[in-house]
């Protein structure tokens, strides 16, 4: 396959960026999208040019590090697919592919396609945990949890923190990410003890990171590779409303 690429290049957070054109003439349709970028970087190295920097780790759709905007869509044209799990057979010979980083004030560009997602880490640090005595884990059946509740909590916990929800939202809201982390713990007995403190601290930190407000367009859920439900946002809002009625 022959592919024409328009890739965002930016030397640093403070530098001005621009799109740069590249052509690849021997792209295997079975390559993953990141393998295609690897082959481009090998070509740039042979030319003594600076490689294109992008985030990746597991390349198995688990870590959430690989997200970029591909032709204006977070993670590319396939539904519920991370960038690393996207393959070049999705595109046609001769296609032009526009590649740029996720755009949000809370996700500053570090270089090229590489962004700083540490705002998500600070939201988790604000309250996405439980306080527990150290020691051996309790026996699994000592805390009975209904199957439906356990499954719902697991579905919320499946969020990989890739940031596609932020990138696809017109307000750059982190409501889906934050609500998934809140919902995961709010549904389990271990998380109910601190649920009022947790929802307040995490939502306040989300606002402090300058993420936008949720306007319920549901674009976040459409682009989420893990299919995190928009119902998590409703649960977060309900938890926050109830919390606001009590002194904590």
156 with 97, same domain: the answer is no
* More confident site: 140 or 83: 83
Is the pLDDT at 240 greater than 70? The verdict is: yes
CA pair distance 109, 45, nearest whole angstrom: 23
38 with 59, same domain: the answer is yes
**Residue 124's domain spans which residues?**
117-244
CA pair distance 48, 42, nearest whole angstrom: 10
Do the Cβ atoms of 111 and 11 come closer than 8 Å? yes
Q: What tens digit of pLDDT does each residue of 88-136 get?
A: 999 999 999 999 999 999 999 999 999 999 999 999 999 998 887 666 7
pTM of this structure: 0.92
CA pair distance 155, 227, nearest whole angstrom: 9
CATH code for the domain of 55: 3.10.20.30
CA pair distance 92, 31, nearest whole angstrom: 13
CA pair distance 111, 101, nearest whole angstrom: 9
Q: What integer pLDDT is reported at residue 134 of this predicted model?
A: 63
Q: Which of 187, 152, 176 is CA-nearest to residue 74?
A: 176
136 with 240, same domain: the answer is yes
CA pair distance 232, 216, nearest whole angstrom: 12
156 with 196, same domain: the answer is yes
Q: What tens digit of pLDDT does each residue of 172-217 get?
A: 999 999 999 999 999 998 888 898 999 999 999 999 999 999 999 9
Is the pLDDT at 248 greater than 60? The verdict is: no
CA atoms 228, 77, 64, 31: torsion sign: positive
And the tokens for 100? 């740029």
Residue ending a domain, choose from 63, 91, 111: 111
Q: What tens digit of pLDDT does each residue of 15-51 get?
A: 999 999 999 999 999 999 999 999 999 999 999 999 9
121 with 105, same domain: the answer is no
121 with 240, same domain: the answer is yes
Q: What integer pLDDT is reported at residue 190 of this predicted model?
A: 86
Do the Cβ atoms of 70 and 54 come closer than 8 Å? no
Measuring CA to CA, how many Å separate 3 from each of 23, 25, 83, 156?
6, 6, 17, 37
121 with 48, same domain: the answer is no
Q: What tens digit of pLDDT does each residue of 67-94 get?
A: 999 999 999 999 999 999 999 999 999 9
Residue ending a domain, choose from 111, 131, 160: 111
């Amino acid at each position: 396959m022959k592919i024409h690429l328009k890739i965002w290049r930016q030397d640093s957070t403070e530098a001005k960026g621009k799109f740069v054109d590249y052509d690849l003439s021997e792209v295997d349709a079975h390559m993953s999208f990141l393998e295609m970028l690897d082959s481009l970087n090998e070509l740039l190295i042979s030319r003594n040019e600076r490689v294109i920097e992008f985030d990746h780790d597991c390349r198995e759709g688990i870590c959430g590090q690989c997200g970029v905007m591909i032709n204006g869509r977070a993670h590319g044209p396939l539904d519920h697919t991370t960038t690393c799990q996207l393959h070049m057979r999705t595109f046609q010979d001769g296609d032009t592919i526009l590649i740029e980083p996720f755009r949000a004030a809370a996700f500053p560009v570090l270089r090229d396609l590489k962004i700083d997602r540490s705002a998500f880490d600070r939201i988790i640090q604000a309250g996405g945990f439980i306080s527990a005595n150290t020691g051996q884990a309790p026996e699994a059946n000592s805390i009975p949890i209904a199957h439906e509740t356990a499954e719902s909590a697991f579905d919320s916990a499946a969020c990989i923190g890739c940031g596609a929800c932020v990138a696809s939202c017109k307000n750059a809201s982190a409501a889906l990410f934050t609500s998934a982390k809140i919902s995961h713990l709010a549904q389990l007995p271990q998380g109910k003890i601190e649920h009022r403190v947790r929802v307040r601290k995490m939502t306040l930190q989300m606002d402090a990171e300058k993420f936008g407000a949720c306007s319920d367009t549901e674009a976040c859920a459409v682009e989420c590779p893990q299919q995190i439900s928009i119902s998590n946002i409703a649960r977060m809002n309900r938890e926050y409303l109830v919390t606001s009625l009590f002194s904590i």
